[in-house]
Structure 1
Amino acid sequence: MGTMRRSLCSRLRNLTFRSFLLLLVLTTVIINEFLVHRIQSWRWPAMPHPYKDSEEEMRILFVSDPQIIGYQDESMFPIGSLTRWDSDSFLSRTFSLAFSYAQPDVVVFLGDLMDEGSRATPAEYEIYMDRIESIFYSARHVKKIFVPGDNDIGGEGRDFRSPFKIARFENHFENLTGIERVGFIDFIKLDLRFNRDMPLEQRKLLEKLKKHFTAPLRLIVNHETMLPKLKSFIHPILMEVQPHLLMSGHWHEVSLGPVSGSIEVGLVGGVLGYGVGEPSMGYRVGLIDPEGHVKYTVLWLPSRYIQLYAYLGVLVLVAILFISCCIMQSLWQQQQPRYPR
């Protein structure tokens, strides 16, 4: 009878200990995947209630450099699959939260949507498109503007541009250059590159686009920033377009500065810098009225790397506790007297 009682107590202790370990893991998951994002959103700056009429104020949510993780440079199964799933989940949750918070009239993607878009095979590209639709599903009914980055169509280092890469992007998204009018703003896509003076073809393009400016405000959206470029590179562009604001990505950091009478705002890179190792990530929201008054802020996100380190720490702790418990239980059983049957 005593042996049965000791056996039952031992099982209850093991059950309670295992339940504690399971509760510790579940608590970490709930905090990392749900509570942290909500708590961070409470720290976002208060935004005025949106106008019913978008002609009174335009709300723009900017997404720069999400760089959705690809397939060629990642580890093989299961590490690569787990990394892609984790990154996509993080992007989806944070974008949905930012979208709900900002309630934008338009979402502007400032390039580098995909980490390996310019090198992706046709099959990989189609999978990319499904993932993009799933990640940014919250914005399915809102106007979206897409600007390509070097990771999408090439153009950096040995990853050269090609007509095939450009055509593929335009077939799946929209033209590299053009004008998108939304409310009182002309969003001007120029696909600007500043490694040389403006070629004659680009000058003719600007003159052609200039004839189609219809909105009172003009906003250039581009992946590559103008801030560090020589005046001889950008002055002809600004003289032709005369933009009120320029928005760019690529740098993976926040920057603000005047550009020959206009203002350029460089966005937080990689809202998902997560995919490219950025510790600070966020979405930028701009509020613009018809008179050209601009308010903007960054909706900072919690560091995913800290969350992953927390997971690693908890798993190590659980492993240590579990192994210690097994050792202690084994030693305890060895010390118990054995009664003859």
Structure 2
Amino acid sequence: MRLSKLRPLLANWPMELKIIFGVVVFNELIIYYYYSWAWWWKIYSICGSPEGDVTFLIASDPQIQGYRDESQALGWLTRWDADMFLFKGYSAALSAAKPSTVLFPGDLIDEGLSAPPAALSDYMARFRGLFLWPKRRWLILAGDNDVGGEAEPVNSGRVADYERQFGRLEGSDKAGQSMRMLWLRFYADAFRCQREIERHVASAYAHLAPNTPETGSAGFRILANHANLLTQRPTQFRPLLRLLRPHLVITGHRHRAFALRCDGCWSPAGAETMAPYPDKRGGPYATEPLDSAKFTLTDGIVYEIGSPTCSYRMGTLEVAYGYLAVRESDGRVCYVSLWLVSRFYWLGLYVLCLLLCAGYWLFRRIRAFGETERSRLIARRRSKSVHFGVA
């Protein structure tokens, strides 16, 4: 609708509807255009031109909402609102980042592990409609909410379901001219003992080894996994890192943005030292929430970037997409968190707007009622004075 046609229509609206219309336009349209512009400027000002870089947009833990755990009365509304938040935020992030690869580090569906087959098909169709557009390169991992692995064993049947929909959940492929991307479904909590961990690591390595460059060869190796690795006990992640020798690890799972550095993680057991990046006091997560980071990839040193959730339904107000640029020529890395203001604030703005409009409407009604009563009283007095004057 053209503005010239919309203007006379709005002119006839009461003030309450004009205010509600303005808030809806701001909340559902303007704020996402602002995100797109602000994120583009943030990426350019921190990371510079992407020429010569392999770029990633990281959409971690979207966990689209299911049907079982949502309210039976309002579930249709809460699911729709969560989906629209993901769709619009993803659209703005794509427009700002223009990545060569979109990475989903798992936990795609909130009830993916427990959903019956019919519901799972619907969830996957919703996920495709929200994220898998336009045509570009995607790398999709499965998280513990999708296939298990945190407090329960990995469900092999659910792994097969996800692989039929999204391709291999473990693999290796080129990410650039000389850079290689590795991805796994490694969950240390799913194993009962260290021997099971080492058996799974050896199996994964045997699967990836033909496509995995050896140490000292040209290029860098980026490992993607849903569960965090450097936050685990050394005995759990050490065999994995010693065999695969990644330079950079990208994970999700914790719903928080952080960066860690491990010196000597390619070395024999006991030689590694862990530190937050950038190095600040206060423990291994002192940098949370991580807004941006720059470092250079080096053999023998492993960096881990933990990307925050992009869904406002995950119990945190820190919601973001991650932008990652890796320069193939020298291994320079730039990471930026593309922060979204939590949807709860905008929903609160709706509530505030409705309360103000209701108060304004009530004030107008009371004022109109008072003016009506005053007019009646004045008319009554005049009629009495005219009556006595005639008599």
TM over 0.5, yes or no? yes
Structural mapping, 1:240-319, within 5 Å: 240-259=243-262, 260=265, 261-268=301-308, 270-272=309-311, 274-290=312-328, 291-319=330-358
Give the C-alpha shift of residue 89 in structure 1.
Answer: 0.9
The alignment of Structure 1 onto Structure 2 pairs a total of residues equal to 317
> Which residue of the partner structure matches residue 142 of structure 2?
148
Residues 87 and 230 of structure 1: is their aligned pair in 2 closer, same or farther, counting only changes over 3 Å? same
Distance in 2 separating the partners of 1:208 and 1:319: 63
Distance in 1 separating the partners of 2:254 and 2:168: 23
Give the C-alpha shift of residue 18 in structure 1.
Answer: 5.5
> Which residue of the partner structure matches residue 93 of structure 1?
88
Structural mapping, 1:72-151, within 5 Å: 72-77=68-73, 79-137=74-132, 139-151=133-145
Name which of 44, 54, 60 aligns with 2:56: 60
Give the C-alpha shift of residue 201 in structure 1.
Answer: 4.0
> Which residue of the partner structure matches residue 186 of structure 1?
180
Contact kept? 1:37, 1:301, Cα under 8 Å: no
Give the TM-score of the pair, scaled to structure 1: 0.86
Give the TM-score of the pair, scaled to structure 2: 0.76
Contact kept? 2:141, 2:184, Cα under 8 Å: no
Aligned partner letter, 1:324:
F
Give the C-alpha shift of residue 320 in structure 1.
Answer: 1.9
Contact kept? 1:108, 1:145, Cα under 8 Å: yes
> Which residue of the partner structure matches residue 279 of structure 2?
none
Per-residue CA distance 1:271-290 (angstroms, 9 max, x = gap): 11x12232011111111122
Unaligned runs of 5+ in 1: 1-14
Indicate the larger mover: 174-183 or 326-335. Answer: 326-335
Contact kept? 2:183, 2:224, Cα under 8 Å: yes
- Tell me how large the CA RMSD over aligned residues is: 2.2
Q: Percent identity?
A: 30
Name which of 143, 161, 164 aligns with 1:168: 161
Indicate the larger mover: 327-336 or 295-304. Answer: 327-336
Residues 87 and 204 of structure 1: is their aligned pair in 2 closer, same or farther, counting only changes over 3 Å? closer
Contact kept? 1:36, 1:302, Cα under 8 Å: no
Distance in 2 separating the partners of 1:204 and 1:163: 15
Distance in 2 separating the partners of 1:101 and 1:132: 21
Moved over 6 A (4+): none
Distance in 1 separating the partners of 2:120 and 2:370: 57
Distance in 1 separating the partners of 2:11 and 2:103: 51
Unaligned runs of 5+ in 2: 1-9, 266-300, 384-391
Aligned partner letter, 2:322:
R
Per-residue CA distance 1:51-92 (angstroms, 9 max, x = gap): 3xxxx3211111111111111100113x11111111111111
Distance in 2 separating the partners of 1:161 and 1:235: 21
> Which residue of the partner structure matches residue 218 of structure 1?
221
Contact kept? 2:221, 2:246, Cα under 8 Å: yes
